[in-house]
Amino acid sequence: MSSDLAAVILAHNEAENIVECIESVRWTGRVVVVVDTRSSDATAELASQAGAEVIFNRFENYAQQRNAALALVETEWVFFVDADERSTPAQAQEIRAILTNPAHNGYWIPRHNYIFGRLTRHAGWYPDYQMRLLRRGCARYDPQRQVHELVLLDGEPGYLSAPLIHYNYRSLRQFREKQRRYVAFDARILHEQGIRPRAHKFITQPLRHFYWRFVTLRGYRDGWHGLRLSLLMAWYELQKYIHLRRLSRQE
């Protein structure tokens, strides 16, 4: 296996997660790098005590943060992990094998999402592929995609099978806080693209979103849990268009 691999963790106010996350990626064999956005809690201190190299970088948007991380590390390969994610021994074994003779410059990795403490396999949360294993000189993030980042990769990507474990939303409060941020980002992107909300979109878009998650993506197979998640995501689809209308009126 190539030893030129670094695990990079992006973190902001992740004191409850950061040590376990660092421990889960020690198999990479190098110093783990934590890119912190000046957390107001003990994230940086705990990461340093756990043996990670802590680098501070001002947050502008998610794409910029990942591009900054790619520029800050010096290894050939970067394995991105979020603080609320965990790697596994099976994943370590698979990545070690891949890097003995890599056929691609980037790899999609599936995630097992735990939402409100439950593994969620439908409604769009599995396989939930994320491109997280990257050959640093052959990948960068599209600056136009400030949230739900898009990797611009040289060549076709490969796929891994061992998933990251993602403790996505531990509570309804955390879910709401994150969705509000995503709504603001997504609405701003639509606004910058010149999209203006029509009256019927406030009805049709949430309904389509609910049908997509609950029926097309088989959220019904997760029972009440899938119904609740599909309804919540439809609600925040409505909130996105309400926010887009506010931006249009301000213009």
Indicate if 228 and 138 belong to the same structural domain. Answer: no
- In this prediction, residues 46-73 reach a mean pLDDT of 92
Domain range for 96: 5-168
Number of domains in the chain: 2
- Domain end among 147, 168, 189: 168
- Residue 163 shares a structural domain with residue 180: no
**What pLDDT band is residue 144 in, cutting at 50, 70 and 90?**
confident
User: Which of residues 117, 146, 168 is at a domain's end?
Assistant: 168
Q: Quick one: 145 and 235 in the same domain?
A: no
Given 168, 197, 228, which residue is the final one in a domain?
Answer: 168
pLDDT over 70 (residue 131): yes
Q: Where are the alpha helices (DSSP H) in the chain?
A: 18-24, 43-49, 62-72, 89-98, 172-192, 201-211, 223-250
pLDDT class of 143 with cuts at 50, 70, 90: confident
Same domain for 150 and 42: yes
Is residue 128's pLDDT more than 70? yes
- Asked whether residue 202 falls in the same domain as residue 235, the answer is yes
For residue 28, give the CATH number of its domain.
Answer: 3.90.550.10
Task: Return the pLDDT at 1.
Answer: 34
**Residue 230 and residue 124 in contact, taking contact as beta carbons nearer than 8 Å:** no
Which has the higher per-residue pLDDT, 24 or 186? 24
Mean pLDDT of 126-140: 96
194 and 100 in one domain? no
So what's the pLDDT on residue 3?
Answer: 55
User: What is the Cα–Cα distance from 182 to 159, expressed in whole angstroms?
Assistant: 27
| 116 in the same domain as 30 | yes
Q: Which of 26-30, 48-52, 63-67 is predicted least confidently? A: 26-30
Residues 117 and 188 in one domain: no
pLDDT at 146 over 80: no
* Residue-level pLDDT at 145: 76
The model carries a pTM of 0.87
Give tens-digit pLDDT for 205-251: 999 999 999 999 999 999 999 999 999 999 999 999 999 999 998 87
- What gap in Å lies between CA 41 and CA 154, rounded to an integer? 38
Kindly tell me if the per-residue pLDDT of 119 is higher than 80. Answer: yes
Domain shared by 44 and 143, yes or no:
yes
Amino acid in the structure at residue 197: P
Percent of the chain with pLDDT over 90: 81
Residue 35's CB is within 10 A of a number of other CB atoms, namely 23
User: Do 156 and 199 belong to one domain?
Assistant: no
137 and 155 Cβ atoms separated by less than 8 Å: no
Has residue 2 got a pLDDT over 70? Answer: no
